[in-house]
Amino acid sequence: MVTTLSADGIELAYERHGDGQPLILLHGGMAPRQYWNPVLPHFEGYSTVIPQRPGFGTCLDDSETTSADEVLDHEVQYVHTLANTVDGEPILFGHSYGALTAIEAATDAAVEAVLAYEPAVLPDEFRAEADLADRMAVLIEKGERREAVKRYIEQVLHPDGIDHLDAWLAEWPVWPDCVKLTEEVVRMNRAVEQYQLSVTLDVTAPVLIMTGTNGPDFLRKSARDVHEALPHSRLVEFDGVSHSGPSEAPERIAMEVDTFLSG
């Protein structure tokens, strides 16, 4: 892990692998940095940069980020600073909440392109009734952190249900790390539940929006909404792939990314 101080005093912590154009990988809310491990072998031609998101293992001053809007703004500023710090014009690749952060950061950062898998944006009709953050917070207050994380998994990762969830979680390599991030995930969910998509997103860089047929219907709709709000974007849907697309089908996604970037 590299730790450095930016010119404007922001502490940046990230892993860096390989040489070439920087490709900044932004993980979602229910995953640690290790989420990207299956992806790395498919992007050996790049210098992959995997930051430690603020609050996800690094210090986030709650006195300075009291509202959901401020949480998102804080992370967008973090990505913007990182993009301006690495050598060369980077490409941003975000998953879920990381995809939302990447798109927002690209409105004010010099990036070559943005790759966004199912940005964590809620359609208006879904957002009006969204209460996942509150339900998770209640469970945390009762000391039921594992149950709180399960609610997220059931709603976002496996909305159609999953047999023998506890057995599945026992085999999931990142499960212990996910439980440790429970409070951060609640904070992130509050930001998502309050975020309203603009009619037009001021991103001049080309954007590849990706989604999967096995993911939540509301995120598939949001992927289309984000695509329509961008001036230069392409929408690709992967058959049989869930919300965990980048780690679930890294080769298929890497091939689509290569085609998009080369075009």
Domains of the chain: 2-125+197-262 (3.40.50.1820)
pLDDT of residue 245: 93
- If phi > 0 it is left, if psi is from -120 to 50 it is alpha, else beta; for residue 55 that is left
**What pLDDT score was predicted for residue 180?**
81
How does residue 61 score in pLDDT terms, banded at 50, 70 and 90? very low
Q: What pLDDT, on the 0 to 100 scale, is given for residue 118?
A: 96
Residue with the larger pLDDT of the pair 30 and 211 = 211
Give the angle subtended at the CA of 152 by the CAs of 91 and 105, to the nearest 5°: 25
Identify residue 190 by its one-letter amino acid code: R
User: What is the mean pLDDT of the segment spanning 33-39?
Assistant: 84
Do 93 and 115 form a contact (C-beta atoms < 8 A)?
A: yes
Whole-number pLDDT of residue 163 = 81
Positive or negative torsion for Cα 138, 141, 144, 150 = positive
| Distance from C-alpha of 32 to C-alpha of 99, rounded to nearest angstrom | 15
Region 160-183 average pLDDT: 81
Which pTM was predicted? 0.88
> Which residue reads 């975000």 in tokens?
94
Query: What pLDDT score was predicted for residue 188?
Result: 86
% of the chain residues with pLDDT over 90: 53
Residues 102 and 79 sit within 8 Å (Cβ to Cβ): yes
- The DSSP secondary structure of 213-249, one letter per residue, reads TTS-HHHHHHHHHHHHH-SSEEEEEETT--TTHHHHS
pLDDT higher than 80, residue 185: yes
Residue 143 φ/ψ region, left for φ over 0, alpha for ψ in the -120 to 50 degree band, beta for the rest: left
Pairing of strands 233-238, 207-212: parallel
Give the C-alpha separation, 131 to 120, whole Å. Answer: 15
Whether the CB-CB separation of 154 and 134 falls below 8 Å is answered with no
pLDDT at 7: 64
Inform me whether the pLDDT recorded for 166 exceeds 50.
yes
The average pLDDT across 248-260 equals 96
Q: Which pLDDT score is estimated for 60?
A: 42
Digit-coded pLDDT (tens) for 216-240: 898 999 999 999 999 999 999 999 9
| Strand duo 47-51 + 22-26: pairing | parallel
Q: What are phi and psi of 48, to 5 degrees?
A: -80, 130
